[in-house]
Structures are given as structure tokens and as C-alpha cells.
């Protein structure tokens, strides 16, 4: 950023001008943060899935990373107005929606058979279920907290703070 003096109506006014290099550095920094968060989210989700059911699929890295990034960025925008519980419910709905979309592609269209909830009550086409959605709210809460701490420690973002209710 540079300061330039401009004369306006006989008065000298200081104007802040962003250099192209500064703007490019800021965009590169944001891109690096998003790329890093996507990679960490994908890797961590695969580890969670291996711990939970003993195996994972490469497509879950893509889905997990994308949902981690989406949850982290969407909940950051709502932090001041929404309680942590409300954010966790939103994250659970986001994961459920992402799981449904991914399931329609991966399981129904491509027949990869990565998961199947058809034996659970209140399932939709075997791709999502009410029971899993409740679990996704807990995973979403962990994702919110982890995303914020990583953004704070690794990328110099604001220290996380929350209102519980």
C-alpha cells in the first residue's frame, strides 16, 4: 500500500493506493490458505473414516476437503451472529447435503458403492440418513473448531472466540 497526496477543492487529501504487487500477494495468501485447508480437511476426514469404519475411498479425500473448506468459510461469516450450536447444526446440514450430492454421483451414477445407508431408518436413496446427519453435526462442530484454530495458528487469522448459545 502506498500513500499518495491528491489535491481536491484546494485541500491536500491523502489517498491510500494498493499496489498491484500487494493485491497479488493478498490473493496468493488467501489461495494458499484455502489450498492448505482443503488438503488438511481431506486428509483428516480420511483418517476419521479409517478410524470409524476401517477403510476409506479416494473420493472421500475430495469430499472431506471441500466440505471442511466450505464449513470453515461459511461459519466464519456467521461467528458474530450465530451461536456455536447453530453453527454446528449448519455444518451438519452442509455435510449432509455434500454427502447426498457426492453419493448421487459416486454411488448412484458411477456405481462405486462407497457407502450405503439403505438399511437405516429415514434414509434418502441410501445416500444420507437422519442418524448419520445427527452425527455429522458433531463432526461439523469439530470441523469448525479445528478450522478456526488452524487458521489462527498457521495463517495468522483472528484468534477464535465463540458464544455457546
β partners of residue 32: none
What's the CA gap between 159 and 149, in Å, rounded? 7
Query: All 3 cell numbers of residue 67?
Result: 466440505
Q: Report whether 123 contacts 100 (CB < 8 A).
A: no
In a domain, 1, yes or no: no
108 grid coordinates: 448412484
pLDDT at 125 over 90: yes
3 in a structural domain:
no
Of the given ranges (54-58, 68-72, 154-158), which has the lowest mean pLDDT? 154-158
- Domain-embedded: residue 125: yes
| pTM, entire model | 0.83
Residue 18 pLDDT level (bands cut at 50, 70, 90): low
Classify residue 18: in a domain, yes or no.
no
* Residue 79 or residue 99, greater confidence: 99
> What one-character DSSP code corresponds to residue 165?
-
Find the mean pLDDT for residues 121-143.
98
The tally of domains found in the chain comes to: 1
In a domain, 70, yes or no: yes
For 117, the domain range is 36-155
Amino acid at each position: 500500500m502506498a500513500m499518495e497526496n491528491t489535491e481536491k477543492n484546494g485541500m491536500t487529501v491523502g489517498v491510500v493506493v494498493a499496489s498491484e504487487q500487494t493485491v497479488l500477494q493478498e490473493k496468493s495468501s488467501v489461495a494458499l490458505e484455502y489450498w492448505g485447508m482443503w488438503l488438511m480437511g481431506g486428509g483428516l476426514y480420511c483418517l476419521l473414516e479409517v478410524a470409524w469404519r476401517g477403510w476409506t475411498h479416494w473420493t472421500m479425500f475430495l469430499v472431506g476437503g471441500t466440505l471442511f473448506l466450505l464449513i470453515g468459510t461459511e461459519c466464519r461469516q456467521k461467528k458474530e451472529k450465530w451461536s456455536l450450536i447453530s453453527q454446528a447444526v449448519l455444518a451438519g446440514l452442509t455435510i449432509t447435503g455434500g454427502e447426498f450430492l457426492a453419493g448421487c454421483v459416486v454411488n448412484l451414477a458411477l456405481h462405486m458403492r462407497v457407502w450405503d445407508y439403505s438399511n437405516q431408518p429415514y434414509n434418502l436413496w441410501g445416500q444420507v440418513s437422519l442418524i448419520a446427519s445427527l452425527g455429522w453435526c458433531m463432526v461439523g462442530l469439530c470441523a469448525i473448531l479445528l478450522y478456526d484454530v488452524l487458521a489462527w495458528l498457521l495463517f495468522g487469522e483472528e484468534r477464535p472466540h465463540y458464544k455457546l448459545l
